Amino acid sequence: MDAAAMIAAHIELNSGMDRLRQVRPEFAAADADTISAILSEAAKFSSAYLAPLNPIADQEACRLEDGRVRTVAGHRDAWKAFVDGGWPTLDQSADFGGQNLPLVLWAGCQELFDRGCVAFGMLPGPQRAAAHLLAAWGDEATKSEWLPKLVTGEWGATICISEADAGSDVGRLRTTAAVDDTGIWRITGEKMWISFGDHDLTPRIGHFLLARETGPSGGISLFLVPDTITNPDGETSRNAIVVRRIEEKMGLHGSPTCALGFEGAQAFLVGQPGRGLAQLFVMITNMRLSVGVQGLGLASLAADIGAAYAEERRQGGSPKSPAVPIVQHRDIQRLLLGMEARVEMLRGLILTAAIQADLATHESDPDAAARARGLTQWLLPIVKTTGGEFAFDNANDAIQVLGGAGYTREWPVEQILRDARVFTVYEGTTGMQAIDLLHRRLWKDEGAGLKLFLQDARQCAARCAAPDHVSALQCFDLLEDAAKQLGALASSPRNAEASATAFLHLASTCALSWIAVQLADLDGSPLHARLGILGRYWLKSAKAHADLAHSQVREGATLLSEFDALRSNRSM
Tell me how far apart the alpha carbons of residues 515 and 520 are, in angstroms, rounded to a whole number.
Answer: 9
Other CB atoms within a 10 A radius of the CB of residue 139 amount to 12
SS3 content of the chain, % helix, strand, coil (to 5): 65, 15, 25
Tell me how far apart the alpha carbons of residues 398 and 339 are, in angstroms, rounded to a whole number.
Answer: 8
Tell me how far apart the alpha carbons of residues 564 and 501 are, in angstroms, rounded to a whole number.
Answer: 20
Other CB atoms within a 10 A radius of the CB of residue 124 amount to 23
Helix, coil or strand: residue 176: strand
Helix, coil or strand: residue 156: strand
pLDDT confidence of residue 107: 97
Residues 476/454, Cβ–Cβ less than 8 Å: yes
pLDDT confidence of residue 571: 63
Q: Which of 394, 349, 343 has its CA nearest to residue 511?
A: 349
Tell me how far apart the alpha carbons of residues 38 and 91 are, in angstroms, rounded to a whole number.
Answer: 13
Burial readout 416-434 (b: 16 or more C-beta within 10 A, e: otherwise): bbbbbbbbbebbbbbebbb
pLDDT confidence of residue 113: 98
Residue 247 among the catalytic residues:
no
Among candidate residues 26, 427, 480, 497, the one labeled active-site is 427
Tell me how far apart the alpha carbons of residues 266 and 281 are, in angstroms, rounded to a whole number.
Answer: 24
pLDDT 10s digit of each residue in the chain, 572 long? 699 999 999 999 998 999 999 999 888 888 999 999 999 999 999 999 999 999 999 999 999 999 999 999 999 999 999 999 999 999 998 899 999 999 999 999 999 999 999 999 999 999 999 999 999 999 999 999 999 999 999 999 999 999 998 777 787 899 999 999 899 999 999 999 999 999 999 999 999 999 999 977 789 999 999 999 988 777 889 999 999 999 999 999 999 999 999 999 999 999 999 999 889 888 877 889 999 999 999 999 999 999 999 999 988 888 888 889 999 999 999 999 999 999 999 999 999 999 999 999 999 999 999 999 999 999 999 999 999 999 999 999 999 999 999 999 999 999 999 999 999 999 889 999 999 999 999 998 889 999 999 999 999 999 999 999 999 999 999 999 999 999 999 888 888 999 999 999 999 999 999 999 999 999 999 999 999 999 999 999 999 999 999 999 999 888 888 888 888 887 65
Strand pairing partners for 221?
211
Strand pairing partners for 179?
185
Q: What is the separation of C-alpha 216 from the centre of its chain, rounded to a whole number of angstroms?
A: 38
CATH superfamily of 3-149: Acyl-CoA dehydrogenase/oxidase, N-terminal domain (1.10.540.10)
Tell which CATH classification among 2.40.110.20, 2.60.40.420, 2.40.30.160, 3.30.70.1290 matches the domain 156-280: 2.40.110.20
pLDDT confidence of residue 305: 97
pLDDT confidence of residue 434: 95
pLDDT confidence of residue 318: 82
Tell me how far apart the alpha carbons of residues 20 and 363 are, in angstroms, rounded to a whole number.
Answer: 8
Tell me how far apart the alpha carbons of residues 456 and 571 are, in angstroms, rounded to a whole number.
Answer: 51
